[in-house]
Amino acid sequence: MEKRYYQPEIETMPHEQLRAMQSGKLVKQVKHVWEHCAPYRRKMEEMGVTPDDIKGIEDLHKLPFVTKSDLRDEYPYGMLSVPSSECVRIHSTSGTTGKRVIAYYTQHDVDLWEDCCARAIVAAGGTKEDVVQVGYGYGLFTGGAGLHGGSHKVGSLTLPMSSGNTERQIQFMMDLKSTILCCTPSYAAYLGEALKEAGYKPEDNSLKAGIFGAEPWTEEMRRDIEASLGIKAYDIYGLTETSGPGVAFECEAQKGMHINEDHFLAEIIDPDTGEVLPEGSKGELVFTSLDKEAFPLLRYRTRDICVLDRTPCACGRTHVRMAKPMGRSDDMMIIRGVNVFPSQIETVLLNEGYAPNYQIVVDRAKNNDTLDVYVELSPEQFTDTVSGITAREKALAGAMRTMLGIGAVIHLVAPKTIARSEGKAVRVIDKRKLHD
């Protein structure tokens, strides 16, 4: 396997050395928030913890958790831990699940974030010879800015396309011979479809790799995208709260995403009890930033359910790998008492030969949860008889029941009637919340 790193001394740092580095940084980070961030200090005081209790990463569990609602409560300035004159930028969450979270960055914070993204680009084969098409949204969303900055650090030619405007994306991709595409996986799938419709074959473009993240996607979707664009598709992970994409990224081994542990310390906890679980357990991912200045995070609960893997990776990186999150504990729907993740529904659709364009509607009728899945029918799947279409609905409903353990009502709908994501897809509409 070809070894390619952006910061080899950090990315392949021996484990003991990495731990020592993390411990030193954590002690400083805790001191920094204690002195400069009132909400953290208050939380620590409530638990009777002071910076003196934190001597290294073995003491991490003594610190309080912080949740998304804690960050929202402090909107807009509460979590700012440096004078605003030291900040050079903000980004913000989409606010789809409530009030926005504003994240602040000093130049140091931007640099470390862009370094993380540069590592992801290099791992995907990026060099200064590459043309990186950034199709993530630019603006408050971190996707565009993160990969844009990372691409600059690598020295690649950066195409700041932002999201949407598919015709222009295709024109630039072809005319400027983009080699690496960065966007959401659903948009990558959509671009694949659009290229096919425009009469291009997968080998007609110059792309060799794609870096896709910011929404959940499945292995089936990866294979789909890889085939339709003729590339290797790499996963990238991040949250606005931690800085943005690049907290973790996939290497050429494509067996989990390496967490940039020199900047972000990961834990897995039991989402119900908050107890730290042994490595290799499935649970909620928690991040502590180690050297952020403006918007540090102590034990931030991501709501993402996943597993960490510290076994050696073929790529030579020593940083721990996280599995693709199985779903967010936020996304997880409890339907008739059963845990259902949208990613499971997507897997069934792809297995059954449908495009991953769907919408899930959960509702309650007569005190019973209902699950309806709207799925786009493709021209090849359309028949002229009602029985032909209802037979397809039945087959799909059967496959859903097998995967989910509960029944779903399938509605086949006309192509392109479900809103496409050029940013983030609204996959789930839970109407039960409106009734409660």
Partner 1 sequence: MAIKQLTVFVENRQGALVEITDLFASYSVDMRALSIADTQDFGILRVIVNDTAEALRILHSKGYLVQATDVIAVKISDTPGKLSSALHALNVAGMNVEYLYAFLARTQRHAYVVLRVADNAAATSVLEDAGFHMVSEEDIKKL
Q: Which of 59, 393 has the CB closer to partner 1?
A: 393
Q: How far is the CB of 420 from partner 1 (least distance, A)?
A: 13
For 56, other C-beta atoms within 10 Å of its C-beta total: 13
- CA separation for the pair 16, 315 (Å, rounded): 19
Q: How far is the CB of 384 from partner 1 (least distance, A)?
A: 4
CB 284 within 8 A of CB 305: yes
Q: How far is the CB of 415 from partner 1 (least distance, A)?
A: 6
Q: How far is the CB of 422 from partner 1 (least distance, A)?
A: 17
Q: Which of 294, 373 has the CB closer to partner 1?
A: 373
- CA separation for the pair 105, 89 (Å, rounded): 5
Count of residues that interact with partner 1, criterion CB under 8 A:
16
Closest to 358 in 3D by CA, of 369, 346, 366: 346
Mask of contacts with partner 1, 362-391, x by CB under 8 A?
Answer: ---------------x-x--xxxxx--xx-
Q: How far is the CB of 197 from partner 1 (least distance, A)?
A: 11
Q: Which of 127, 417 has the CB closer to partner 1?
A: 417
Q: How far is the CB of 431 from partner 1 (least distance, A)?
A: 18
Q: Which of 5, 374 has the CB closer to partner 1?
A: 374
**210 phi/psi in degrees, rounded to 5:** -135, 145
Q: How far is the CB of 416 from partner 1 (least distance, A)?
A: 6
Q: Which of residues 385-424 bind partner 1 (CB under 8 A)?
A: 385-386, 389-390, 411-417
Mask of contacts with partner 1, 321-360, x by CB under 8 A?
Answer: ----------------------------------------
* Exposed / middle / buried, residue 135 (Cβ in 10 Å: 0-12, 13-18, 19+): buried
- CA separation for the pair 273, 325 (Å, rounded): 20
For residue 209, the cross-strand partners are 180, 232
**326 phi/psi in degrees, rounded to 5:** -75, -10
Q: Which of 127, 390 has the CB closer to partner 1?
A: 390
Q: How far is the CB of 382 from partner 1 (least distance, A)?
A: 5
**162 phi/psi in degrees, rounded to 5:** 65, -175
Task: Determine, following the binding rule CB under 8 A, whether residue 307 of this chain makes contact with partner 1.
Answer: no
* Exposed / middle / buried, residue 89 (Cβ in 10 Å: 0-12, 13-18, 19+): middle
Q: Which of 389, 428 has the CB closer to partner 1?
A: 389
Question: DSSP code of 356?
Answer: S
- CA separation for the pair 224, 293 (Å, rounded): 40
How far is CA 98 from each of CA 68, 72, 93, 155, 359, rounded to the nearest angstrom?
Answer: 10, 8, 10, 38, 21
Q: Which of 300, 358 has the CB closer to partner 1?
A: 358
Give residues with Cβ within 8 angstroms of 252, minimum separation 6. Answer: 1, 2, 4, 123, 124, 125, 232, 315
Q: How far is the CB of 414 from partner 1 (least distance, A)?
A: 5
Q: Which of 97, 383 has the CB closer to partner 1?
A: 383
- CA separation for the pair 371, 428 (Å, rounded): 10
Binding site for partner 1 (CB under 8 A): 377, 379, 382-386, 389-390, 411-417
